Amino acid sequence: MSLNLPTPAVALAIGAHPDDVEFGCGATLAKWAAAGCVVHHLICTDGSKGSWDPSADVDELVRTRQEEQRAAARALGATGQQVFLGHVDGELASGLAERREVARWIRVLQPTVVLGHDPWKRYRLHPDHRHAGLLAVEGVVAARDPHFFPDLGLPHHRPDELLLFEADEADHVEDVDGFVAAKLAALLSHTSQLRSTMGIEDDADDEARAAQRAAFEQHVRDSLAERGALAGVAQGESFARMSPAS
Ligand SMILES: [Zn+2]
């Protein structure tokens, strides 16, 4: 188990949907941003399935989720870009065209560290998370060598590290003590997702909402404590660490 990378100059976090990055590595990004790292988000889908309300206006939901993602990035202290690839939620593929898009952004943004979903997490239900994970891995491979996608007209770029969150077999921990509040603030910025992913109901009375919010925050803290314990720290986010050189 390795602990703490040196603070990267530039980090690029790739998520399937708005809010995935905050769940997967928000506290790590907040820590790095506070130390001067430029943090970028690349969100693969439009988040248009992220409502339990059958009558929700889908175009409005997409716009709302982009605004929420920008607010979440601000809550993390991220100063980079929030890039939205805009693929339809639930229909993300990981073919050559999508790989080319991700490789292009890696070449444009030139991250020192790329973070993404672990595509090999067992018994994962959501296909977008699997495809977004594959795109992070395969996008790095395509971005790093000059003969991949030469038509992009961009110099190749090799990140130093690739960290996979939601790791099936974690072998790296980032100590995030002091950055849990930023992660929680970023998660709670995804207001449209409070009910479906955080168990906080819009129509509950104030007291019930406060209790639901406290339960969600405790769940996040407990999870970070569990991961931190893997490396003997109080609060941690865990990853599978891959070397882009291999
Ligand atoms: Zn997701």
Extended beta strands in the chain, E state? 2-3, 10-15, 38-45, 82-87, 113-117, 161-165, 172-175, 236-242
| Residue 243: per-residue pLDDT | 87
What are the E-state strand segments in 59-129? 82-87, 113-117
Ligand 1 mean position to 245 CA, how many Å? 28
Q: How far is the CA of 92 from the centre of ligand 1 (A)?
A: 11
Residues 135, 44: Cα–Cα separation, whole Å = 9
pLDDT recorded at residue 182: 98
Residue 208's alpha-carbon distances to 197, 199, 214, 218, in angstroms, are 17, 11, 10, 15
Angle between helices 96-109 and 127-144 (to 10 degrees): 60
pLDDT score, position 225: 98
Q: What is the pTM of this model?
A: 0.97
The predicted pLDDT at position 204 comes to 86
CA of residue 187 to ligand 1 center, whole Å = 12
Residues, CB-to-ion distance under 5 Å, ligand 1: 16-17, 20
The rounded Å distance from CA 147 to ligand 1 centre is: 32
**Residue 39 pLDDT:** 98
Please give the distance, rounded to the nearest whole angstrom, from the Cα atom of residue 16 to the centre of ligand 1. Answer: 5
Q: Residue 244's pLDDT is what?
A: 85
Cα-to-centroid distance, 24 and ligand 1 (Å): 10
User: Distance from the CA of 165 to the center of ligand 1, in angstroms?
Assistant: 12
Distance 100 CA to ligand 1 centre (A): 21
Residue-by-residue pLDDT tens, the chain, 246 positions:
999 999 999 999 999 999 999 999 999 999 999 999 999 999 999 999 988 888 999 999 999 999 999 999 999 999 999 999 999 999 999 999 999 999 999 999 999 999 999 999 999 899 999 999 999 999 999 999 999 999 999 999 999 999 999 999 999 999 999 999 999 999 999 999 988 888 999 888 999 999 999 999 999 999 999 999 999 999 999 999 998 877
